[in-house]
Amino acid sequence: MQLIRRLGRDARGVAAVEFALLAPILLLLYFGVVELTQGVMTEQRAAHTASTIGDLASQSSSVTSDEVDDIFKVGNTIMYPYPTTPLQMRVTSLVADAKGNVTVAWSRASGMSALAKGSTVAGLPGNVISANESAIMGEAHYTYNSVFGQVMPRPVVFNETYYLRPRLSTTVTCADC
């Protein structure tokens, strides 16, 4: 009986018991924050990739398919250190006629299909391109797979699209795209 009373008053192992109870929760919180932070950073890099490939294409009055391929290499570099295998990019020149109908002048892609010349673009936001104007559309699609897979167990797809006006001319041409 005296042994039981003495064990009841002994507080030497309380910290170890508290640590054993809290450690799994703290580890889950830590790895959850790491996982979400990696996802947000990947989304930001995908957005930066779409913006950059569109911006680089809009800086010339004309480009070649080889130059657009070099622009895609820049996009792959932006995604570093994340794997570039799931990265898909597309640069498209859009033109609007006198009635404001927007069609594809040329398109080049890496990892996805290029848009057909003369086709229309669905889901174009209003006021992006006016009648008799053109714009460059830079797109990046990235499928993110979490390292730990606990907070985000399924792949997340980031779709980013940017529209930029040509800088040096009214349109950017590509003869071999």
Q: What is the pLDDT of residues 51-98, one digit of tens each?
A: 999 999 999 999 999 999 999 999 999 999 988 889 999 999 999 998
Answer whether 137's CB lies under 8 Å from 166's CB: no
Instruction: State the pLDDT confidence band at 138, using cuts at 50, 70 and 90.
Output: very high
Q: How many of the other CB atoms lie within 10 Å of CB of 55?
A: 15
Alpha helix segments (H runs only) across 59-102: 65-79
2-16 pLDDT, tens per residue? 777 776 676 677 777
Taking all residues of the chain, what is their mean pLDDT, rounded to a whole number? 90
The mean pLDDT value for 37-61 works out to 95
pLDDT on residue 8: 67
Give the separation between CA 55 and CA 60, rounded to whole angstroms. Answer: 10
Share of the chain above pLDDT 70, in %: 97
Give the separation between CA 94 and CA 9, rounded to whole angstroms. Answer: 79
The mean pLDDT value for 122-147 works out to 90
Instruction: Tell me the CB-side half-sphere exposure of residue 32, using CA atoms within 13 A.
Output: 7
Give the separation between CA 43 and CA 143, rounded to whole angstroms. Answer: 10
pLDDT on residue 15: 77
Instruction: State the pLDDT confidence band at 32, using cuts at 50, 70 and 90.
Output: confident
The mean pLDDT value for 116-129 works out to 88
